[in-house]
Amino acid sequence: MKTTVISFAVLLSILACSNSSSNNNQVENAISDSMIGNDTIFNFENEEIGKLPAGFSATATGNAKGINWSVVNEGDNKVVAQQANNSGSCYNLLVFDKQSYGNFKATVKIKAVSGEEDQGGGLVWRYIDKDNYYIARYNPLENNFRFYKVVSGNRKQLKSVDSEIKSGEWFTMTVEMNGNNISCSLNGNKMIETSDDTFNSAGQIGFWTKADAVTFFDDLDITKIE
């Protein structure tokens, strides 16, 4: 199946590319996200260390002392890390802002690295702006998996279930949104099923942590539901 690269920087590089091998290498090294059919896949392996991944924007809900999202090495693998030391009801956000999704299934790998006030994190979706979106997140300090909505910067819990994933362990989170129906899973186990009509139009998808939660994210896979 034909693969179309969705990073605008990559597209511009391809259009400007000459026949020289150096330019070809630059284009190849820039590719890390692609569309294959209805799937949007990010593995970050061709991204530059210390930079934001192509197509993503970093921001925060609430008062942030700093914003610090970047691609880092974890052994031989590249991942996206949130490393700002914020506090309180500050929500760190990294959003893929080149495309909006209405109905979809999104899967991502997450590892809680550290944090005294908070740990872990999760996915945001139907994101309108930094003050309006849905969240599913897991926090190993509290051993719970929760679904929230943020409206006008205020977070409201909608569902909560217990879980036993530890800090330092990679886990897989999956969110499926179809109409107003929402399901959220950890490591393939569906744990939250509910519905909500607050955000009923397409929005962006991204990563979320709270306060000082240093968290790694990898292998984001988004599939549109027709």
What was the pLDDT predicted at 58? 98
Q: Do 5 and 64 have their domain in common?
A: no
Q: Do 17 and 84 have their domain in common?
A: no
Report how far Cα 7 is from the mean position of its chain's Cα atoms: 16
Report the C-alpha gap between 203 and 38 in whole angstroms: 16
Question: Roughly how many angstroms between the first and final C-alpha of the chain, as a whole number?
Answer: 19
Q: What is the CATH number of the domain that holds 194?
A: 2.60.120.560
Q: Do 46 and 80 have their domain in common?
A: yes
Q: Do 165 and 117 have their domain in common?
A: yes
What was the pLDDT predicted at 37? 66
Q: Do 23 and 134 have their domain in common?
A: no
Q: Do 64 and 114 have their domain in common?
A: yes
Sign of the alpha-carbon dihedral angle for 49, 107, 167, 85: positive
Q: Do 110 and 210 have their domain in common?
A: yes
Q: Do 20 and 52 have their domain in common?
A: no
Tell which phi-psi region holds residue 146, choosing left (phi > 0), alpha (psi between -120 and 50) or beta: beta
Sheet holding 144-151, edge to edge: 56-61, 91-101, 203-210, 121-129, 132-139, 144-151, 154-162
Domain coverage including residue 67: 38-224
What was the pLDDT predicted at 21? 41
With a cut of 70, list the residues of the chain below it in pLDDT: 1-37
Q: Do 53 and 95 have their domain in common?
A: yes
For 193, list phi and psi in degrees, rounded to 5. -135, 125
Report the C-alpha gap between 192 and 159 in whole angstroms: 7
What was the pLDDT predicted at 34? 61
Q: Do 128 and 188 have their domain in common?
A: yes
pTM of the model: 0.86
Q: Do 120 and 24 have their domain in common?
A: no
- Whether the CB-CB separation of 91 and 208 falls below 8 Å is answered with yes
How many domains, the chain? 2
Q: Do 195 and 125 have their domain in common?
A: yes
For the CA atoms of 107, 78, 135, 139, the dihedral, rounded to the nearest 10 degrees, stands at: 100
